[in-house]
Amino acid sequence: MRTIEIARRLAELNQKEDAQQAYLIALQEAEGKNPEEEMESASYLFFSEGNYQLAFTTFVSLYNRGYFQPELMDLLTQAFYLPNIDDQKKRYANNCTALNRYPYLFRHDFPNFEDLTIQFFPFDDDGYIPFYKKENRFGEYVNFNHPVIDRYFFEDLEKPILAADVFSQYQIEYLHDTVRKSEWVGRENHIYLHYTSWFIFCAYLQCLDFKKLLNDKKFVFLIENEIKQYPIDFKERFGIDYSQYPVKPVGLREYNRLIWHIQLSTHNGGDFFNEIFYGHPNMVVLESVMFENLEKNIKKIQEALRKGIIKSPLMRKLSQISNPTDKDCFIAFMLSNKKNYCKPDPNSRIVPAFFFQPHFGNIYYRIKVVDLKKDWSTLYSKEYEQIRTSPIFQGFKYIKSFTPMRRITTSYGGSLHFAIDRKRTEKEEEENKKSVLLDPINTRLLNRSYLVDPHDRFYQDSILVRFEDGKLNPKATFTALARFLDVPYTESMTYCSSFRGINTLSFEGNARGFDPSSVYKTYDEYINDDERAYLEYFMRDAYEAYGYDFQYYKGEPVDEAWIQARIANFERANHYIRFSWSRALKENANVTLPPEVEEKMKDEEIKEEIEKQLDEDKDKLVAKKVDKLLETMNEQRLEYAKYLLKGLHFISMDGQPLQMMKKLELDPALLEQPLYH
């Protein structure tokens, strides 16, 4: 019996849930092959209150292919369009009224609502499916508030901003909130929105909302051939001379744009990227700060505000605004930090973006198995949860994020080098003696920060940039990154700098500026070939997606025996784990002595001999503890590896498949050297 026949029988028996599942399978089987069965399956799902979005999508597909058009148009109109038409009519009328009164829209022959060339059918709470009347077809789903800036609005700030056919509410508000008023910068600084078709522009007025954005008179609307008027001489045409206005400093609450420099893991070249953007005239840039310390400072600021302690310029700024938020305190703190580059061009057309890299000692992930049959798991990181729930991040309306990635085996070796052998102050060294090295292999193996939830607000407008590209092809890399971040590519991005100066040393052993030596470091003292091969195989999804060739994994079949052979030779990792744990245990181990031994210790002649024996006993005790620790670590390594051997499938907390973060693509014409592999 065919699936659709089973579905029909289940429907006859009123077994709704089973029938829905059967019709879902039948729909998948019929897709593109049998329009009648597609229609039947989608109709059952829709009318039985099953997966209405899948049904809607099928109806649209059938309509666009020319099937059942009268029936489907009637169904979609009754079910989706008419229940929401009053809201669209009202929005259209409000926009027309506001724009009719607006001085910088020079055309006012708005068509009647019924004559608009596009109908918008609500698909879900966020978006619509447009229907193009003249073409008799449905278009692609559109969410007017999708939080992504996919234009290069601010490539050139020599002239006022000009953008064509912007139909995203999010992007229109972004322009409004980022471009400063002409009166505030002492020159003509309007946003010129050019719409190439008057009737298409009018059609979108049933979904967009211009009314609340017109009060500041920042926009100039140019319709079709009116583009010839750009840029308008406001002094000659309207009698407004903006040069008479004094430049107004940027207010705390004008800062709405955050560029989150993500810490993918440790030693991926974060300092290098900070040094590229330091000194940018349209950014406020601070070198990476420990997120924990930042949160503590903000709490101190808030406590001082509550107590009315207004002594510093920072506190005076905050006291002048009502109900300062965590974001307000963060901005004020950043602006007052002496190491911060906060001298953007005061005459700039746009509000500076805040460039911020919250730093953690390391990024730790845990895997939680949620579906044993499908081998699907979620990834949990306490560090990311701190970011996701932070009022600082939630306070920014516009967020773009990027993360540097360095060849995984190289960043792993660099992490161990930094943890073990970096130079420390005496105080740091004393603290370090008490710290221990957690299993660096598993820490790196489980860190899959490059996998993101496409629905996550903080990752929806994100990009991954390879460290090696930045070093070997800086012009191609940073012109592309500037485009993505929507900031001008400036001279300040052609060299590395910090508050210390140009091409300074961030840490001893790091390469300065564009010195490519760090690209080719192998850190052989900290990682061996078995450890490298192990990481390459289990991180193969990242290697393949981001263009890294395998150097140590040779493509051989991998099974449990292969895994155990590699784990048995993790000599570098185990050496440093043993070293750190032995040192810490010796520093912190308390040995309780029997009373008779305590009594003997009072005798100076035998005290030295007893102390020597105690040290030997302590060494043996510590060695046993560390042996047990490494044995447990090996068991855990094998457990994770066997699980990952089944496949690299991860889902979000909401059950959506995680996706590889998109890689920054470079313009081949700008490459100075072949791409690194």
Residue pLDDT, tens place only, 143-154? 999 999 999 999
**HEC assignment per residue over 76-88:** HHHHHHHHHHHHH
Residue 317 lies in a domain: no
> To which H or E segment does residue 533 belong?
helix 529-538
Residue 97 has pLDDT above 70, yes or no: yes
**Are 60 and 85 within one domain?**
no
**Tokens of residue 405, six digits:** 């990635």
% of the chain surpassing 90 pLDDT: 63
| DSSP 8-state code for residue 288 | -
Residue 320 lies in a domain: no
Q: How confident is the model at residue 423 (pLDDT cuts 50, 70, 90)?
A: low
Q: Which of 123-127, 220-224, 261-265, 425-429 has the lowest mean pLDDT?
A: 425-429
Q: Which of 335-339, 350-354, 632-636 has the lowest mean pLDDT?
A: 335-339
The rounded distance, in Å, linking the Cα atoms of 264 and 447 is 8
Residue 410 has pLDDT above 80, yes or no: yes
The residue type at 224: E
**Tokens of residue 464, six digits:** 């991954």
Q: What is the mean pLDDT of residues 374-379?
A: 75
**Are 21 and 132 within one domain?**
no
Residue 295 lies in a domain: no
Q: Domain end: 18, 48, 67, which one?
A: 67
The domain in which residue 58 lies consists of 3-67
Q: What is the mean pLDDT of residues 546-552?
A: 97
| DSSP 8-state code for residue 267 | S
Question: Do residues 404 and 477 make contact, with C-beta atoms less than 8 angstroms apart?
Answer: no
Q: How many domains does the chain have?
A: 3
**Are 473 and 445 within one domain?**
yes
**Tokens of residue 543, six digits:** 């290697």
Residue 542 lies in a domain: yes
Q: From residue 455, how far is each of 146, 430, 657 by CA, in Å? A: 10, 44, 10
**Tokens of residue 617, six digits:** 């006993």
Residue 260 lies in a domain: yes
Taking the CB of residue 99, how many other CB atoms lie within 10 A of it? 21
Q: Which of 18-22, 124-128, 225-229 has the lowest mean pLDDT?
A: 18-22
Residue 97, C-beta contacts closer than 8 angstroms, at least 6 positions apart: none
Residue pLDDT, tens place only, 155-186? 999 999 999 999 999 999 999 999 999 999 99
Which residue reads 């039947």 in tokens? Answer: 40
**Are 31 and 97 within one domain?**
no
Residue 297 lies in a domain: no
Q: What is the pLDDT of the chain when averaged over all its residues?
A: 89
% of the chain surpassing 70 pLDDT: 91
Residue 310 lies in a domain: no
Q: Domain end: 229, 248, 267, which one?
A: 248
Q: How confident is the model at residue 597 (pLDDT cuts 50, 70, 90)?
A: very low
**Are 160 and 222 within one domain?**
yes
**Are 54 and 202 within one domain?**
no
Class of residue 220 by CB neighbours under 10 A (exposed 0-12, middle 13-18, buried 19+): buried
Taking the CB of residue 404, how many other CB atoms lie within 10 A of it? 26
**Are 234 and 114 within one domain?**
yes
Q: What is the mean pLDDT of residues 216-222?
A: 98
**Are 261 and 226 within one domain?**
no
Q: How confident is the model at residue 377 (pLDDT cuts 50, 70, 90)?
A: confident
Q: Which residues pair with 367 in a beta bridge?
A: 379
Residue 37 has pLDDT above 50, yes or no: yes
The rounded distance, in Å, linking the Cα atoms of 522 and 528 is 9
Helix, strand or coil, per DSSP, at residue 181? coil
Q: What is the mean pLDDT of residues 524-545?
A: 96
Instruction: Output the pLDDT for position 611.
Output: 55
Q: Are strands 162-164 and 128-132 parallel, antiparallel or unpaired?
A: unpaired
**Tokens of residue 616, six digits:** 């030997």
Residue pLDDT, tens place only, 195-213? 999 999 999 999 999 999 9
The rounded distance, in Å, linking the Cα atoms of 338 and 20 is 63
Q: From residue 587, how far is each of 431, 433, 434 by CA, in Å? A: 11, 7, 7
Residue 275 has pLDDT above 90, yes or no: yes
Instruction: Output the pLDDT for position 498.
Output: 86
Q: How confident is the model at residue 427 (pLDDT cuts 50, 70, 90)?
A: low
Instruction: Output the pLDDT for position 229.
Output: 97
CB burial readout 237-259, b (16+ within 10 A) else e: eeeeebeeeeeeebebebbbbbb
Instruction: Output the pLDDT for position 596.
Output: 46
Q: Domain end: 233, 248, 263, which one?
A: 248
Residue 308 lies in a domain: no
Question: Do residues 22 and 7 make contact, with C-beta atoms less than 8 angstroms apart?
Answer: yes
Give the HSE-up count for residue 410: Cα atoms under 13 Å, Cβ half-sphere: 19
**Are 85 and 185 within one domain?**
yes
Residue pLDDT, tens place only, 438-474? 899 999 998 999 999 988 999 999 999 999 999 999 9
Residue 68, C-beta contacts closer than 8 angstroms, at least 6 positions apart: 35, 39, 62
**Are 73 and 62 within one domain?**
no
Q: What is the mean pLDDT of residues 103-120?
A: 97
**Are 36 and 63 within one domain?**
yes
Residue 360 has pLDDT above 70, yes or no: yes
**Are 241 and 361 within one domain?**
no
